[in-house]
Chains A and B, each alone.
Chain A
């Protein structure tokens, strides 16, 4: 099953009069390469539902059999909750798929644009 949600920018736009001053991006996202999108399927090794960012580490096995750990940056707890993504839905050991804008400097990290959980729900 795929849970299709409104794009985050649209949600924020619609709610802007109400939440603009209560939901803050922690930093600008200019360090992420908006022109690139990487799709990763891997196993969650660590996940933190914390402010200012929900974060997870995704262990991804490459074609050479080597596992590489990626840091996946998400939004605040409030914004993730608004998208329907709650702490109980992401657990270490879950195999998930993440699309992200990678860090420009090539480090193994990025800002997610969509996430598909182990049971097939997609949040973007």
Chain B
């Protein structure tokens, strides 16, 4: 069975390696694509396990999974040297597959790509409610950074940002992670910002709604209003987006993005990041294509793909779309040494996540303070009512 699996993986690798991304039309990239995986696999390529890889053939997912619980600190407590621990972390080159991080498109800027695609779409398709594609339902999946190895990212980040990437990698090995969600910040685009749960569309906009890890939405205006004027624009975690429909495909341009580090063995991006995305539903999947422009953090424009899967109703029951209460219940912090810690009950800094009436708790605290004379006390307003 194991041999068969290896043969299948090898066969797929050879097949996708034989395909050339240059065969697609850069102005109509999804033309002729019959299945989402067909597009994704066009950009896969074989990855060899290299015994001299300084990153031990690890993918970013391997990097964080083998460090996120402080494995090095646990190993050190048992007398294991850092070298022995590091030597024990050996990846399989993403099971023999990686992708080209470099964008296959001829465009140098997001503006250039947007303008070319808009022109190729004859200014975009003006949909009515009746003609909009049906993207209803619960969805999971989606894109993130390219599905590449750490060694691929190492050469794809800019010279200026490579030392910062090295710091991320080293700190995670040492069990000193920094993840945006530690502090209830949005993950942004690098890793999981695109776990879009609902695609809500009308003729003026597409609202891309997230549930996990945080409740947030991206508003993609498709009515031609453009970006906010410079005097009104503010950076946002998920940026500011405008879009247009190219038939049943949604094209999105996003900028004004707050810089972020996704941790998890991944490099960060700067406030210069701009994205061009294209979405198309094929059957029960939505295919996504992303071009990443960041002249500060990246050595060249990047490219990734992603696939959303439409979920049966059972998914809603299993994963109810609840409000994420991290902002009010989070007890994680980074101490003075930059090490992740957590407040426990009994510590005055503990956020009592079990207090479902925090206003009453605050009122009682105020009443106690008034009695103690720590804050001004006013007479009861009811006592002042005319009788």
Contact = CB atoms under 8 A, between A and B. Distances in A.
Given A26-B213, A35-B78, A78-B319, A52 B181 contact: yes
Interface in A1-38: 9, 16, 18-35
Interface residues of A, number: 42
B194 A103 contact: no
A52 B326 contact: yes
B143 to A, nearest CB: 8
Interface in B304-330: 309, 317-320, 322-326, 329-330
Contacts of B343: 107
B344 A108 contact: yes
B285 to A, nearest CB: 12
A121 interface: no
A8 B194 CA distance: 23
- Size category of the binding interface on chain B: 35 or more
Interface in B175-191: 175-177, 179, 181-182, 187, 191
Main secondary structure of the interface of B (DSSP, over half): loop
A107 B344 CA distance: 6
A71 B73 contact: no
Contact of A18 (B64, B141, B175): B141
Contacts of B64: 28
Contact residues of A: prevailing secondary structure: loop
A104 B64 CA distance: 20
B295 interface: no
A26 B140 contact: no
B131 interface: no
Interface string A27-71: 111111111000000000010101111010100000000000101
Interface of B: 61, 64-65, 68-71, 73-74, 77-78, 140-142, 144, 175-177, 179, 181-182, 187, 191-192, 194-195, 197, 212-213, 263, 309, 317-320, 322-326, 329-330, 332, 339-347, 353-354
